[in-house]
Amino acid sequence: MKPGVTAVLLAAGKGTRVGARQNKVYLTIAGRPLLSYALAPFIESPSIDQIVLVVGAGDEERAATLVAEAAKVVQIVHGGVRRQDSALTGVKAAEGRVVLIHDVARPFPSRALIDRVVEGAREHGACVPVIPAVDTLRHRDQDGFLLSRPIEREGLLQVQTPQGFERGLIYRCLKASDKTYTDDAGAVLAKGIPVWTVSGEPTNLKVTTEADLALAEAIAFYLISGR
Looking up residue 22, the CATH number of its domain turns out to be 3.90.550.10
pTM of the predicted model, to two decimals?
Answer: 0.92
Handedness of CA 212, 70, 163, 17 (dihedral sign): positive
Beta bridge partners of 101: 8, 163
Is residue 10 in some structural domain? yes
In a domain, 166, yes or no: yes
Share of the chain above pLDDT 70, in %: 94
**pLDDT category, 23, cuts 50, 70, 90?**
confident
> Is 132 inside a domain boundary?
no
Using alpha carbons, select from 37, 39, 40 the residue that is nearest to residue 8: 39
Sign of the CA dihedral 53, 55, 61, 62? negative
Q: Give residue 117's domain range.
A: 5-127+157-224
Asked if the structure places residue 105 within a domain, the reply is: yes
Exposure b/e, 132-170, CB count within 10 A at least 16 = b = eeeeeeeeeeeeeeeeeeeeeeeeeeebbbbbbbbbebb
Confidence of residue 177 (pLDDT cuts 50, 70, 90): confident
Which ranges in the chain belong to alpha helices (H)? Answer: 34-44, 60-67, 83-93, 111-124, 167-176, 184-189, 210-224
Q: Is residue 141 part of a domain?
A: no
Domain-located, residue 208: yes
Residue 195 lies in a domain: yes
| C-beta neighbour count of 99 within 10 angstroms | 29
Q: pLDDT tens for residues 30-46?
A: 999 999 999 999 999 99
CA-nearest of 74, 104, 109, 93 to 12 is 104
Type of residue found at 220: A
Confidence of residue 155 (pLDDT cuts 50, 70, 90): confident
pLDDT for 16: 53
User: Per the structure, how many domains does the chain have?
Assistant: 1
Whether residue 145 lies inside any domain: the answer is no
